Amino acid sequence: MMTRRVHARPVSVVFDLDGTLAETAPDLAGAMNAVLAASGRPALPVAHVRHMVGRGARVLIETGFAATGGPVDSSRMDELFEMFLKHYESHVADTSHLFNGARATVEALGADGHLLGICTNKPIGLTELLLAKLDFRAPFKSVRGADSATYRKPDPRHLFDVIDEMGGDRTRAVLVGDSETDAKTARAAGVPCILVSFGYTEIPVRDLGGDAIIDGFDELPDAIGRLFR
């Protein structure tokens, strides 16, 4: 059962999106496979794509091509990137959904006075579209995507932008994520990182160096409480 607590000083709780708040791998795999098919490459199973997500669409395309017969032709990257984005935009929430407990926990944290934001390497237009489709934009005071600035995770400025836009305190902030990128971002920013065990990472989550690991969203409020006593 989720423990409710009221903090005298709010914490800025910043979430990654793909693999942290939402299960998006099937729709991302659909876009990846559409790009591969157009180049005569075989499709990749969703289970494979789950471990490729987190560093942006261009890296996903590069990794997908490397896994299906050889590196991508760099001269075609812009074309393939646009193909990926067009397909994904049309299917952004065909099967994507929030992880169990994500909505209730986020809403409870907001009700307890915490500041809530999203810092993702998904393009901001697709991020806002997905959140709208999931009816999950309202809890967040700041949402920043891969193209919201000239830098992105693991650059700590990406995280700082979210915290600052919310009016938060950088010394009372935590990043909730699922991947090496999130762990590196938090470390570079000097803020703690809570990692989910059910996300998208090639490296075992316990090897990523997070400050806490949760197996479900019902554990998140207590994990935050332990970090900010």
Q: Which residues are catalytic?
A: 16
Sheet containing 142-144, strands listed edge to edge, beginning at the edge strand earlier in sequence: 142-144, 115-119, 12-15, 173-177, 193-196, 212-214
Contact 85, 56 (CB under 8 A): no
Q: Give the C-alpha separation, 172 to 192, whole Å.
A: 9
Contact 65, 33 (CB under 8 A): no
Q: CA Rg, the chain, in Å?
A: 17
Q: Which residues pair with 113 in a beta bridge?
A: none
Q: Give the C-alpha separation, 10 to 221, whole Å.
A: 12
For residue 229, count other CB atoms closer than 10 A to its CB.
Answer: 4
